[in-house]
Amino acid sequence: MNKNIAIAGVTGAVGQEFLAILEERDFPFASIKMLASIRSAGKKLTFKGKEYTVEEMTNDSFDGVDIALFSAGGGRSKEFAPAVVKAGCVMVDNSSAFRMDPEVPLVIPEINPEAIAANKGIIANPNCSTIIANVPVYPLHKANPVKRMIISTYQAASGAGQAAMLELKQQAAEILEGKEPTISALGYQLAFNVYNHDSALQANGYNEEEMKMVHETRKIFSCQDIAITCTCVRVPVLRAHCESINLEFENPITPQQVTELLSTAPGVAILDDRENNRHPMPIDASGKDDVYVGRIRQDESIPDNRGINIWVAGDQLRKGAALNAVQIAEKLL
């Protein structure tokens, strides 16, 4: 039976990506509500050839709705979660509001789809960098347990929202014209620059994004023993994150074995052309569903061939956010 669905935060970057992916995948629905803040209420959106009016999100918005895809920010998710659950609707939430709640499943469908069944009205979408890293890492971990992960991220402006993407374009134009760059949506000049991820620094010196990756990976893998350390930075790319991932395994493993395992892994595409030095780039992953993997090589600093380096690129708005949530919704069907 087709479901009644709602998109919360529909006018944002992820909200717009929700609509594109629902249409591409021909998601079966009986009705759809377009929800946003009062500022966007009244706007007209076209979806699958039909015009819809954006409604202000209220506690009554979820009456009769079966699945609500949320990308309206953590505060709004927490505010409306009680109303969503009371209405008998399932919230698939893209914010960090509920990810570490032990009562809320944290799901990457390629890894732990079975967790969806335990939901009590809320399912959390992991952090974008967590998803992009772990779609390729989990098949390796399943075959040969990972003892330690060292991750360095190169994160696109899209992770900071639509305004940040527009500001990156604006900054680049301003700098090329010899003007001072506008700094409003972003913490610093991002055009022609790289800086520490713009999430809050914690008492341990790590930023919030880095700690999200640590805690979320352990929860998704159901493995608290993995040693994980991360460095997350923002780079002047519009919408695809890249990550350098160093893995230490329990048992020996070769690049050839890694390539074989990933060649059949769901959601993974291998782009590892050593002869032409052609490996995953943001322009490869932008607009694509798969996480691209390359630079597959032995870490020669780890004894007994137990270390591997890989380089990945994934679209932050798609698999890192909207696509993962839509895949969860498809499982709910």
pLDDT tens sequence across 242-274: 999 999 999 999 999 999 999 999 999 999 999
Distances (CA, A) of 20 to 15, 151, 239, 283, 308: 9, 30, 15, 19, 36
CATH number for position 104: 3.40.50.720
Angle between helices 255-263 and 128-143 (to 10 degrees): 110
pLDDT at 2: 87
pLDDT digits (tens, 9 = 90+) for 277-332: 999 999 999 999 999 999 999 999 999 999 999 999 999 999 999 999 999 999 99
Whether 190 and 277 map to the same domain: the answer is yes
* Model pLDDT, residue 1: 75
Looking at the fold, whether 230 and 327 belong to one and the same domain comes out as: no
> Are 100 and 231 contained in the same domain?
no
Q: Which of 89, 141, 230, 241 is catalytic?
A: 241
Active site residue 279: no
Shared-domain flag, residues 140 and 10:
no
Q: 117-169: per-residue pLDDT in tens?
A: 999 999 999 999 999 999 999 999 999 999 999 999 999 999 999 999 999 99
User: How much is the pLDDT for 14?
Assistant: 94
Residue 79 pLDDT: 97
- Which of these is catalytic: 128, 230, 232, 242? 128
Mean pLDDT for the stretch of residues 184-205: 95
Same-domain check for residues 97 and 217 = no
Mark whether 135 and 176 lie in a shared domain.
yes
CA angle 68, 69, 75 (to 5 degrees): 95
Residue 213 and residue 104 share a domain: no
Examine the domain organization and report whether 65 and 152 are in the same domain: no
pLDDT in tens, 63-118: 999 999 999 999 999 999 999 999 999 999 999 999 999 999 999 999 999 999 99
The per-residue pLDDT for 76 is 95
89 is catalytic: no
Strands 227-234 and 146-155: parallel
For 68, other C-beta atoms within 10 Å of its C-beta total: 30
Shared domain check, 287 and 171: yes
What percentage of residues in the chain have a pLDDT greater than 70?
Answer: 100
pLDDT in tens, 7-62: 999 999 999 999 999 999 999 999 999 999 999 999 999 999 999 999 999 999 99
pLDDT-derived band at 219, boundaries 50, 70, 90: very high
Same domain, 117 and 136: no
Q: Mind listing the pLDDT tens digit for each residue in 225-244?
A: 999 999 999 999 999 999 99
**CATH code of residue 155:** 3.30.360.10
Do residue 188 and residue 220 come from a single domain? yes
Q: Which domain holds residue 100?
A: 3-125+321-332
Query: Given this model, what pLDDT does residue 96 score?
Result: 94
Structural domain tally of the chain? 2
Give yes or no: residues 137 and 278 share one domain: yes
